[in-house]
Structure 1
Amino acid sequence: MLRSLLAATAAAALLLTAGCTPAAAPPEPAERRDAGILLFQWGWDAIAEECPALAEIGIDWVLTSPPQEHVVRDEWWGHYQPVSYRIESRLGTRDEFAAMVATCAEHDVDIVADAVINHMTGLGTPGTGWAGSAYEHYSYPDIWGPDDFHRCTESPTGDIIDYRDAAEVQTCELVNLADLRTGEPSVQQRLRAYLDDLLSLGVAGFRIDAAKHMAPDHIAAIVDGLPAGTRVYQEVIRGLSEPVQPEQYLATGSVWEFTYARTLTSMVESGRLNPDVVFGPEGGSVPSEQAISFVDNHDTERNGETLSYADGEQYALALAFLLAHPYGTPQLTSGYAFAGRDAGPPLDTDGRVLPASCADAAPSPQPRYEPGTWVCPQRWDVVRGMLAFRQAVGDAPLTDSVEFVQADDAALEHVTGFGRGAFGFAAFNAAATSATATFETSLAPGRYTEAVSGAVIEVDGAGRFTAEVPGFGVVALHVGAVER
């Protein structure tokens, strides 16, 4: 990939061109929409209200929290402990879920449901679920009996201990969660019936929670014969030198690529967003067309593995890179601020989740959010601007990479950028101090409205433009915002 050594201010040193060939005239925007968003712990009515705004900014799909009946707990992870497959939860009723799916469909926004099919509850004592269903750890009336669960012999505790043992990872219990015998045809048929029920309500597909803890052929048997076009996204957390890897699941669908999130976090924290970073098989990750790329999700924002809303401007910068870069299908995360990794969403006196709302959301990340406050990155100017950038550039390849290697102005050492052919160019600053630079691009000459700030920037006949890149910020030009 081409690289330029550029310096743009009077204090900067050498300027080497990358052999860019600007287009004679700007091409028409690609108008491609592929980005999704996890609305973590958002109730069904709240999602329905948000969908028109999501469609307007270019969101293609919404991932919901699990919709099935769950244990009665205040912690967020209660939703990941199924009691039955009734669509009744503290996020809403079956009718509200169906209405939400229909409303979002009216705005061409698909709903992807988080499907918990690896396990049931992890509580040691009998109880009653949210919708009134009685259960015990290995007994769920009219659904599962003791013979429908694995009895782990690989681990002395019954829980997964050694992630280097594939059998243990896929048959033992994940933190005491009753592990279903997903290799049994009768179990597969019952799980498929649950997915079919969700499809009957209009969902476009599923995120398979804890897919890593099921053998790939078990998942394949469960989803076999799903309608054409059904989205299947699988959670397979990549672990170094482990025998269970995301690549083993690609025959069934796409996977969440944790390597991407970890790499992006490392680049932001190191102060340099490498424009030539290699993703895909050559970089130790799955092919782009089968990767769900993300900065964070509901797990990683709690375990500190990646950046999160708490990182403010650096988090926003990572989101800008995510949306500008061609690798994968990007997923944003919109949830609530929390204190303590187990903290659940804000609840009313009956235990239902209070309606999420972005009506009063600020247009930029805030230094601090009170616990229980809904965090709305989809309302930030940088996210809205970069979603527009992504739609305009479509699947154009990455070009014109630039990295300032030698400059008297130290701030320039943290400025990088890349183009998307004649469709767009994005520059990033991974330092707190702003820096002015000149960039050589493949953009056609013209007056471009910058995606985030709204400033007008002139691209000359050679494809060059000069701009101040804000600290922990981005400057993005694209053909969807150029005078014609």
Structure 2
Amino acid sequence: MQDVIKRPWWERYQPVSYKIVSRSGDENAFKDMVQRCNAVGVRIYPDAVFNHMTGSWPSGTPGVGGSSFDSGSENYPGVPYSGFDFNDGNCNSGSGSIESYQDANQVRNCKLSGMNDLNQGSEYVRGMIMGYLNHLIDIGVAGFRVDACKHMWPGDLDVIFNGLNNLNTDYFPAGSRPTIFQEVIDQGGEPVTASQYTGLGRVTEFKYGLSLGSAFRGNNKLTYLSNFGEGWGFLPRAYSLVFVDNHDNQRGNGGGGDQILTFRTPRWYKMATAFTLGWPYGYTRIMSSYNWPQDIQNGHDNNDWIGPPHDSNYNIISPTFGADGACQGDWVCEHRWRQIYNMVMFRKVVHGTDSNDWWDNGNNQIAFCRGNKGFLAINNESYDLKQTLQTCLPEGTYCDVISGNVSGGSCTGKSVTVGSDGTAYIEILTSEDDGVLAIHAQVSLN
């Protein structure tokens, strides 16, 4: 298999060292990116992998950054780690890998997908991890998405996170602490739960995207989304990180199966993302993807390993952009879709408000206000939505941010006229590109 697979995206999830080197560039390139992004208010959260090192690779396989390693003897001189730093002696499974997710000890002390499992209970290992993360903090990152937290003991993570430096005062107020997003795949029915990690930082709520995808695919009614969040058994909103899809489950991995919505189902995807960004639950994350040729066999994509667009030497090809700012070629760049980036602004405008004045047709047409700052309507029926609804906004004309923008004092897409009582005639036709309409206080033409 490894003879066929070349430069998979998941090579970044099998560390050989803690050097900042990947196909995206070296440490100097990373520093330059962080500086430029911070200068314009864009914060960087690296995806930190320290649950494990590599899986089993032939001796002599080179690391991307040039470090040598021997996975069989668990020797990683680039850190350095040796066999003493891994969990083999603490794993109670016969194979050394996780065999039962009903055994919390196996989940946290045995090998995930055959990858050498670090012992975060070791003071030395913790020191190496903290050194790596603190180096990134000193460069200017704002925090971390921590991979595979489910497979580490919360007590060990607590020690590591408490050992992190304050953020770099060149970019952040003195005393600022790194923001932590922990990946914990919890679909229920296992002894390791996402709630065991909420005391340490925000935690991924994987049930969110699964439930939302199921609803928009027609397996549940949108009307039931009126209490979406804690009312569905999700994590408390103060601790949850929510998303429609991520890099794993858009490839059929990491929970969710065929219910997950991706860029391959763009109409549903834009509706679900608009709901996510419009709904007052959790800390939202949006996906930015690249396309790859799928090879579905027996429900599994044999090409799920394919990395980003590249040339014949497997160098990553940078995206190019059209006149509308969207990416061209195989870069999908959902964050550059108008229907998505305009909903990011919607979320900023309505921040601090809750949902109110919920309306639905008893099935798959819904609408709600966000205080007196914003209004969102969704039509996932096979027939048109034509309804006078309460928008909760002041009287005036507003531009729908899904179908267009405000330009030169007019709307490039649909406009909505709100009366003195806050109501407006809302129309979302099945013939339209998008099944969503959204207006907010900052897109008034008055």
Specify if TM > 0.5.
Answer: yes
| Alpha-carbon spacing, 1:81–1:393, altered in 2? closer, same or farther (3 Å) | same
Question: Any conservation in 1 of the 2:45–2:142 contact (CA below 8 Å)?
Answer: yes
Q: Which has the higher contact order (CA 8 A, sep 6+)?
A: 1
Return 5+ residue gaps in structure 1 as ranges: 1-71, 406-412
Q: Which of 263, 268, 274 is 2:216 aligned to?
A: 268
Question: In 2, Cα distance between the equivalents of 1:429 and 1:396?
Answer: 23
**Is 1:316 the counterpart of 2:270 in the alignment?**
yes
The alpha-carbon deviation at position 146 of structure 1 amounts to 0.5
**Is 1:421 the counterpart of 2:371 in the alignment?**
yes
1:394 counterpart SS class:
coil
**1:169-205, Cα deviation, whole Å (9 max, x unpaired):** 0001011100000111110011000001111211111
TM-score (norm. length: structure 1): 0.79
The alpha-carbon deviation at position 342 of structure 1 amounts to 1.3
The alpha-carbon deviation at position 349 of structure 1 amounts to 4.0
Identity across matched positions, percent: 34
Instruction: Name the counterpart of 1:139.
Output: 75
Instruction: Name the counterpart of 1:74.
Output: 7
Which amino acid is the alignment partner of residue 330 of structure 1? T
Question: Any conservation in 2 of the 1:418–1:426 contact (CA below 8 Å)?
Answer: yes
Instruction: Name the counterpart of 1:341.
Output: 304
Instruction: Name the counterpart of 1:438.
Output: 388
2:285 counterpart SS class:
strand
The alpha-carbon deviation at position 288 of structure 1 amounts to 1.1
Question: In 1, Cα distance between the equivalents of 2:70 and 2:85?
Answer: 13
The alpha-carbon deviation at position 209 of structure 1 amounts to 0.3
Which amino acid is the alignment partner of residue 150 of structure 2? K
Q: Which of 313, 316, 329 is 1:353 aligned to?
A: 316
Q: Which of 319, 339, 342 is 1:382 aligned to?
A: 339
Instruction: Name the counterpart of 1:176.
Output: 114
The alpha-carbon deviation at position 123 of structure 1 amounts to 2.3
Question: In 2, Cα distance between the equivalents of 1:287 and 1:464?
Answer: 32
| Alpha-carbon spacing, 1:314–1:363, altered in 2? closer, same or farther (3 Å) | farther
Question: In 1, Cα distance between the equivalents of 2:429 and 2:288?
Answer: 24
Question: In 1, Cα distance between the equivalents of 2:372 and 2:150?
Answer: 40
Question: Any conservation in 1 of the 2:289–2:334 contact (CA below 8 Å)?
Answer: no
The alpha-carbon deviation at position 360 of structure 1 amounts to 6.4
The alpha-carbon deviation at position 435 of structure 1 amounts to 2.4
Instruction: Name the counterpart of 1:296.
Output: 245
Question: In 2, Cα distance between the equivalents of 1:374 and 1:140?
Answer: 34
Question: Any conservation in 2 of the 1:114–1:207 contact (CA below 8 Å)?
Answer: yes
Which amino acid is the alignment partner of residue 444 of structure 1? P
Question: Any conservation in 1 of the 2:373–2:393 contact (CA below 8 Å)?
Answer: yes
| Alpha-carbon spacing, 1:359–1:99, altered in 2? closer, same or farther (3 Å) | farther
Instruction: Name the counterpart of 2:129.
Output: 191
Question: In 2, Cα distance between the equivalents of 1:320 and 1:430?
Answer: 13
**Is 1:283 the counterpart of 2:232 in the alignment?**
yes
**Is 1:391 the counterpart of 2:348 in the alignment?**
yes
**Is 1:208 the counterpart of 2:146 in the alignment?**
yes
TM-score (norm. length: structure 2): 0.85
Number of matched residues? 400
Instruction: Name the counterpart of 2:195.
Output: 247
| Mean CA deviation greater in 241-250 or 121-130 | 121-130
| Alpha-carbon spacing, 1:218–1:277, altered in 2? closer, same or farther (3 Å) | farther
Instruction: Name the counterpart of 2:298.
Output: none
Question: In 1, Cα distance between the equivalents of 2:325 and 2:305?
Answer: 26
The alpha-carbon deviation at position 311 of structure 1 amounts to 0.9
Instruction: Name the counterpart of 2:34.
Output: 101
The alpha-carbon deviation at position 381 of structure 1 amounts to 2.0
Instruction: Name the counterpart of 2:415.
Output: 456
The alpha-carbon deviation at position 473 of structure 1 amounts to 1.3
Question: In 1, Cα distance between the equivalents of 2:14 and 2:42?
Answer: 27
Question: In 2, Cα distance between the equivalents of 1:119 and 1:181?
Answer: 9
2:187 counterpart SS class:
coil
Question: Any conservation in 2 of the 1:232–1:254 contact (CA below 8 Å)?
Answer: yes
The alpha-carbon deviation at position 387 of structure 1 amounts to 1.8
